[in-house]
Structure 1
Amino acid sequence: MNAVTHVGELVDDVAQFFAPVSSDLVDSLVGEYRGMRERIEALAAAVEKEEHAGALTHFINGNLRDDRNVIPHHIGNLFDLAGAIGHLNGMYWNKALHMTDVLDYMPQARRREWDEQIRNPLGIKANSRTGEKEQPPLPEFEEETVRSTLSHLLHSRSQFFAERIDGIFRSLSKTHVTNCPEGFSKRMILNRAITHYDTVDHDTAGVINDLRCVIAKFMGREEPKYYVTGDTVSRCRYPNGQWHTIDGGALRMRIYNGVGTAHLEVHPDIAWRLNGVLASIYPAAIPEKNRTRPKRQRKIKDFELMERPLPFSVIGLLSGMKPAVRPRENPGFQQSRFADIPHTLRFAHGDHDKHALAEAEKVLEAIGGVPDKEDNFSFWRFDYEPRQVISEIIVSGCIPDHKSHQFYPTPTALAERAVDLAGIGPEDDCLEPSAGTGNLAELIHGAHSLCCVEVSPLHCKILEAKGFKPLTTDFLKWHAPIGFDRIVMNPPFDQGRWQAHLEHAASMLRRGGRLVAILPSGAKNKDPLPALQCQWYGPYDNQFAGASVSVVILVADRSYTA
């Protein structure tokens, strides 16, 4: 028999399981909720109003910590009035400084001080544990204070010049013997150009920019803007430890990514001028020999000023260029909706100075760019990948001068005629001794080998981008280790240089070889290569853009017995 437990009367209403709830408590809770909801809705409505949205921005930015990841737990902290007014002061002081050119003249140390105050408008208390120094609050943005501060800064610009040089000297590495305590030498080293996070250090880039500004003053050029040198340092990182010529040859720089140092070299004329200004600050510290112009100027190999420095405003436009893009037809899951258009560049969006823009467009034309348009979007198209070439221009700050380099690209029809007359075969070793940007070399097909010689480093970058392996050297100073079966050339014309190039090239021609040269029409009246069998073709009139000159083509053959 099963045991039966007496359970008593069963409960039919399950609600009796739970403790009773006071209606007054519910009413109170619902009332609180309704009140809070009304306040939330009112705040949301206020925030949505255009005139309140800007004010809220100052509360958020003025009362969040620097990492912007921690939201205050108490609403009173977020809407602290002092924090919002401090952020408002910082924003308007920043606007006021940018209304003038004082930031461009300030040494890096002063720019850093202003930047710190704008980022911390309520000031910073000294902290011995973290090493932070006390920083006073940013002044209120009141008319009298603003006017007097800007006036003082504007009148201090000449003082800033000396402070810049002093700041550069104080920033030099104390651990490298290259830097001497008696003043500047032509070589100097800065630590921490590259941070532990593998990025360009802002402060060190600012010091290098100060040096560039000082050099620009000595050279009578405009100064680079204080924010552009970071990009130049970044471009100089590769190849690692390799010298890069900057600002038309007045400065060279190399970056060692591993240790993060920047090695700088200035022209000796710049070094003694720097010491002259430094001596005005520390008259007893700089020896006379360090601030006196050298009596004899020694020519420094590969370190001469170039003839075609570009304005920094033009360099800034080129620095901001990016590949043009078009919409993808079927973007993948992790793909952008846009894809780069190969071998193109476009200017950054925005209003640009029309004179700087016109000059930048001339630069693009000089390196083979052609304006193009797709879906009403303008860009520049190249027959090679142009970004490394643009990087070379940005770092060096100049392009080859047409007159001094005699750079006139060979027109297609003339180039085709010259290469056709050369009769190049599959066993021939060929030479193009003034390769320029490759207009002739690109037409030489099917040869056993092709050697391109070009004096301009920039043009060599273009040749490399087109797949050639040029020798960067002055052809007249170069002696080939081998002879050549075919030589095709368009040498510089002026001051009789064509004849010097022609004779030097002919000395490298093998027996049974052929030399084809595009020459000024007057060369036909001479006998430039008496030891060779010569034929003349032409004249061809107005072949070169920007030069009203008639040319002829010389075909010179060396006999097998010569």
Structure 2
Amino acid sequence: MKISDAVLDVLSRAHTDGPRLSLFEQLDRSEYLAVDKVLKAAGGKWNRSAGAHLFPTSAADAVEALLLTGEVCRPQDFGYFPTPAPVVEKLLSLADLRAGDEVLEPSAGRGAIAAEAARTCPVDCIELLADNAQHIANAGYARSVTVADFLTLPAEPRYDRVVMNPPFARQADIDHVTHALSFLRSHGRLTAVMSAALTFRTNAQTANFRALIERSGGSVHALPDGAFKPSGTAVRAVLVTIPAP
């Protein structure tokens, strides 16, 4: 069941508390019925006494799955999903790697992007999960592999390119990309896979990030629906390119 961007926008502003989801805004009847239909399909039932839709488990997790996929599906962990080869190819084309460029891939997973980038340039990887980091180290294409939470690392503006597919849940992709910009040299460029929710969410964090893209002369490139199905997820994504601030 596909969900319209108008409904997704309403859901992005909903308040969740445990199994409860509340809509603190006035919707006309047709808008409310469209939202209610999606919430029911996702397992949320209107409870008059609670004044909210109640889910059998976490309402926040249920809504996050709707926002990231644009369709009703089973909530799942969207923190890590390998980047399929066609997406890697397009991302690196936008990155415009030049021989000798120093490249960083934060939140590198098992190195699907880094492996291709290393054909042209020296690549440093940062990865939270030790097993994934060991996989990259064993493969031998990365110049270095650091096991760390990328968001805790201090800025080090020494890279010509940052290429990345960060975690999406709870708009973590915006936090990761914003932090990654501080690792670019003055002439550098960042290219990232990001949630398609970037194109329709209207909260302050998203609006500020879209303003940053525009202010920097960056761009957003659509990916087809289903681009990540080879990785076992229905998550919808875009590619974002941002020159160094």
- Of 454, 466, 475 in structure 1, the residue corresponding to residue 139 of structure 2 is 466
Please report the RMSD computed on the Cα atoms of aligned residues, expressed in angstroms: 1.8
How many angstroms apart in 1 are the aligned matches of 2:102 and 2:134? Answer: 23
The corresponding residue for 2:90 is 417
The 5-angstrom pairing of residues 157-306 of structure 1 reads none
How many angstroms apart in 1 are the aligned matches of 2:79 and 2:147? Answer: 16
The alignment status of 1:477 with 2:152, answered yes or no, reads yes
User: Which structure has the higher relative contact order (CA within 8 Å, separation 6+)?
Assistant: 2
Deviations along 1:217-243, one digit per CA (max 9) or x if unpaired, are xxxxxxxxxxxxxxxxxxxxxxxxxxx
How many angstroms apart in 1 are the aligned matches of 2:135 and 2:158? Answer: 26
Q: 1:463 Cα shift?
A: 0.4
Q: 1:451 Cα shift?
A: 1.1
Percent identical among aligned pairs is 29
How many angstroms apart in 2 are the aligned matches of 1:540 and 1:503? Answer: 24
The alignment status of 1:542 with 2:226, answered yes or no, reads yes
Deviations along 1:1-58, one digit per CA (max 9) or x if unpaired, are xxxxxxxxxxxxxxxxxxxxxxxxxxxxxxxxxxxxxxxxxxxxxxxxxxxxxxxxxx
Deviations along 1:259-280, one digit per CA (max 9) or x if unpaired, are xxxxxxxxxxxxxxxxxxxxxx
The alignment status of 1:498 with 2:201, answered yes or no, reads no
Contact 2:102 2:160 in 1 (8 A): yes
Contact 2:156 2:183 in 1 (8 A): no
How many angstroms apart in 2 are the aligned matches of 1:524 and 1:474? Answer: 27
Contact 2:157 2:184 in 1 (8 A): no
- Runs of 4+ in structure 1 displaced over 6 angstroms? none
Q: What is the letter of the counterpart of residue 508 of structure 1? A: F
**1:479 alignment partner, SS class:** coil
Q: What is the letter of the counterpart of residue 436 of structure 1? A: G
Q: 1:484 Cα shift?
A: 1.3
Question: Which structure's residues are more often strand, by fraction?
Answer: 2
Contact 2:225 2:236 in 1 (8 A): yes
Q: Which has the larger radius of gyration?
A: 1
How many angstroms apart in 1 are the aligned matches of 2:97 and 2:155? Answer: 20
Unaligned stretches of 5+ residues in structure 2: 1-75, 201-205
Q: 1:481 Cα shift?
A: 3.8
**2:193 alignment partner, SS class:** strand
The corresponding residue for 1:436 is 109
**2:235 alignment partner, SS class:** coil
How many angstroms apart in 2 are the aligned matches of 1:503 and 1:511? Answer: 15
The corresponding residue for 2:14 is none
Q: 1:482 Cα shift?
A: 4.1
- Of 179, 197, 204 in structure 2, the residue corresponding to residue 522 of structure 1 is 197
Deviations along 1:130-152, one digit per CA (max 9) or x if unpaired, are xxxxxxxxxxxxxxxxxxxxxxx
Q: 1:505 Cα shift?
A: 0.3
How many angstroms apart in 2 are the aligned matches of 1:540 and 1:506? Answer: 26
How many angstroms apart in 2 are the aligned matches of 1:412 and 1:424? Answer: 17
The corresponding residue for 2:242 is 556
How many angstroms apart in 2 are the aligned matches of 1:535 and 1:416? Answer: 17
Q: 1:480 Cα shift?
A: 4.5
Contact 2:83 2:113 in 1 (8 A): yes
How many angstroms apart in 1 are the aligned matches of 2:223 and 2:115? Answer: 24
Q: What is the letter of the counterpart of residue 463 of structure 1? A: I
Paired residues in the alignment total 156
Q: 1:552 Cα shift?
A: 0.6
How many angstroms apart in 1 are the aligned matches of 2:156 and 2:186? Answer: 16
**2:218 alignment partner, SS class:** strand
Unaligned stretches of 5+ residues in structure 1: 1-401
